[in-house]
Chain A
Amino acid sequence: MTAELGIAQMAAAAAELSVVVPVLREQPGIGELHARLLHGLAPLGRRIEVIYVVDGPWRATLDALKALRRREGAIEILTFARPMGEAAALTVGLRHASGAIVLTAPAELEVDPAELARLVRALETRGVDILTLARRPPGQAGRGKLERLLGLLLESRLEDVRSPIRAMRARVAAELVLYGNQHRFLPLIAQAQGFTVEELPAPAPGRAGPGLGGASSWPSLVLDVVTLYFLLKFLKKPFRFFGGFGFLILGCGALATAWLVFERLALGVPLGDRPALILSTLMVVLGIQIVAVGLIGELVTFAWAREAKDYKVDRIVE
C-alpha cells in the first residue's frame, strides 16, 4: 500500500472499526504489532483506524509510531507527557475512537490477531454491547481466584474479567470513564452502567502469557476488589455500608460499656483502672465516627442526586 493511497483512504470516510492500543512502556516491536493487527483485521474489509495512546515519554516508541503514521496513514497517536495509567489511556483512546465498533488490544498482543476479527464478527452476531476474549492460561481449569471472588461478591459470571482484548459498540466507548485501576474491571463497570457483556472463549490455551494474574500484587488486587464492590453496590446508598459497620461497632461498644458500669454500680468492681473500659469506649467512638462519615456520604449523594442519575435510558418510543 502506498502512502498516498493510505492517506486518501483515511480522508475519504471515517473509520468503521477503531482499535485502541494503550502503550504503557517502550515497545520495540510496535511496528510489527501494527502489521499483525492490520493483517488480522484485514479479512473484515472495514476501514480501520488504530489509536495508540502512548502513556508517558516513550521517545523511541513515539518516533516509531510517527514513522509508521507517515507511511501508513490511518493511525492516530495520543500521548501523555507523564504516565497516567492504563485506565486513563483507555478512556482517552475510547473517547477518540470514531468507528461503530471499537476494539481494545494490548501493545503486547499474545493472541493470534485473527482472533480479533472473530471477536468483532461475534459481537455483531450476538447483539451484545461488549464482548471480551476470555483467555485460558495453560493448565488451569475453571475460573481464577479473582474471578471466583468477584463472582461471589458481585454475582459476576465472567471467566476472565481482566482480559485486555475487548470489542465494544461505539455507544459504550463514548460513555465509559475509568479511574485508577478500573480498566481491570471494565466489563463489570460497563455492566453496572446497563450494557450487556459477554465473553468469547479464546480457542487454544497456551499462548496466554504474562498478562494474566502475575501483573499485580495481591494486596493491590484485594484493594481494587473492595473499591469496586463499594462502587458498584453502595455508591448511591453509602449509609447502608457505613451504617451497618458503624451501628454494629457502636452497639457492641455500648453493650460492653453498660456491662462495665453495671459491674461497678451493682457488684462494686472498681472501674477507673480497667483497660476494658478504654476498649469499650473506643468502640463507641469508632462506631459514631463511621456512622457520621456515612451520613456525610449520604449528604453528598443527596446533593448531587439529580446530576448523577441512577438510571440509563436505553431508548424512548413515542
Chain B
Amino acid sequence: MNPDLSIIVPLYNEEDNVRPLFEAIAEALAPLPLTAELLLVDDGSQDATFARALELPRDGNPKLRLIKLRRNYGQTAAMAAGIEHARGRILVTMDGDLQNDPRDIPRFLAEIDKGYDLVVGWRKARKDHWSRVLPSKVANRLIGWITGVPIKDNGCSLKAYRAELIKEIPLYAEMHRFIPAMASLAGARIAEIEVRHHPRRFGRSKYGFSRIYKVLVDLVVIATILDFTRRPMRWLLGTGGLTAVVGGAAAALYSSTRAEPGVAFQGVVMLSGALATFLLFLAFLSYLLHSVRASRLDLFRRLAARPAGASPSS
C-alpha cells in the first residue's frame, strides 16, 4: 500500500550523518498518525555513505528505501530521482547534512492539510558563514524579482509538496531553485514557514561563490521559458513586430535624410533588419517546438486546471 508521506533526502559523502539523520527523522515522525517512507538517495558518494545506509533497519516506520545513483549527478538530479520513485501522497525533501531539522516536518504537513500545494522552508536564522548567506540572499532577491514569486529562501531544501504537483515539474540541471516559481505558475498555493537551522556537525559544505553566475544564467532561461510556455504566440508576434518597426524606422530615416547617409549607417540599418528577420525565424522555430511538445510545455495550464485548493481526504 502506498504511504501517506515520502521523505526524500539526497546524500553526497555524508557517512557520518546517515545514522543521526535516520534517527532524527524516525523520532520526528513517531508521534504522527500516518505511514511514511524515507528515500535516501546516494548521489554517487565516494565514502561509506551507502554502506552506512544499508546498515539501517529497513522495516518499521518510516519504511526505508535506498536509491543509489551510478555516479555523482548533483542535488537536483538526486532529488528528481527520489521524487520519481516516491509513492507518497505528500512529498518532503530535505538536506542530508542535518542542517534542516526533521522536527519541523509536522508543521509542513499541517500547512499541506490547510490546502497549500507547496510549503517552502525559510531559514530565518541561518547558521552559515556570510560567504554562503550573502550570495544566497542576492540570488533569492533576483529570483523573486524576475519570476514574480517572492520566496525568501529558494535555497532551503526543506519543502513539502503535493505529489501530483511536483511529479509534473521538470527538474534538471539546477532547476530545484525555481520549483516555487514554476509551481506558482501552475496555480499552486504556496506557504512559507520558518524552519530551524543548525550549523554543520560533520562533513564539509559543497557550495561556492560560482553559484551567482549560474543563478543569473538560469534565471534568464527560466524567465524566458516560463513566459514562453504561457504565451508562445506573443513571442512570435513580438519579434514580428520588431522586424516591422526596425524595417519601418530604417526606411523612414533613410528617406528623411536630405544628404546621402553614411555607408556605416546604412550597414547598421541592414544589420538590424537581418537580426530582426533572424529572430522572426527563431520565433517560428520555438513555436514549432511548442506545438510538438505542448503536452510538456503546457503543463502549467494543465496543472492549474486541477482543483488546487482542495483539502486532502485524510
Binding site for B on A (CB under 8 A): 191, 193-195, 236-237, 239-240, 243-244, 270-278, 281-282, 285, 288-289, 292-293, 295-296, 298-306, 309-318
Nearest CB on B from A279, distance (A): 9
A313: contacting residue among B67, B220, B275, CB under 8 A = B67
Q: Is the CB of B262 within 8 A of A271?
A: yes
Note all chain B residues with C-beta closer than 8 A to A312: 69-71
- Residue among B70, B292, B293, B296 with the most chain A CB within 10 A? B70
Which residues does chain A contribute within 8 Å of B278, judged by CB atoms? Answer: 289, 292
Contact indicator A239/B268 (Cβ below 8 Å)? no
Q: Residue-by-residue, is B140-171 near A (CB-CB < 8 Å gives 1, otherwise 0)?
A: 00000000000000000000000000000011
Q: Tell me whether B8 is interfacial, beta carbon within 8 Å.
A: no
> A191 — nearest CB in chain B belongs to which residue?
B71
Instruction: Say yes or no: B65 contacts A295, CB within 8 Å.
Output: no
Q: What does DSSP make chain B's interface, helix, strand, loop or mixed?
A: helix
Interface residues on B, range: 35 or more
Also in contact, A316 and B221, with CB within 8 A (given A194-B44, A288-B275): no
Q: Please, how many angstroms separate the alpha-carbon atoms of A288 and B246 in the complex?
A: 15
Residue in B58, B171, B214, B220 whose CB lies within 8 Å of A305? B171
A316 touches B217 (CB 8 A): no
- Interface residues of B, Cβ cutoff 8 Å to A: 44, 54, 58, 63-71, 73-74, 76-78, 80-81, 84-85, 170-174, 214, 217-218, 220-221, 224-225, 228, 261-265, 267-268, 271-272, 274-275, 278-279, 282, 285-286, 289-290, 292-293, 296-297
* Cα–Cα distance between A302 and B282 once the two chains are bound (Å): 17
Q: Report which residue of A285, A298, A299, A305 has the largest number of chain B beta carbons within 10 angstroms of its beta carbon.
A: A299
Among A272, A302, A314, A317, max chain B CB count under 10 A is at: A302
Q: Contact between B69 and A293 (Cβ–Cβ < 8 Å)?
A: no
CB distance from B209 to the nearest CB of A (A): 16
A306 in contact with B221 (CB, 8 Å): no
Are A271 and B221 CB-contacts (below 8 A) given A296-B285, A305-B170, A317-B65?
no
- Name the distance in Å between A281's Cβ and chain B's nearest Cβ: 5
Residues of B contacting A302 with CB < 8 Å?
A: 170, 172, 225, 296-297
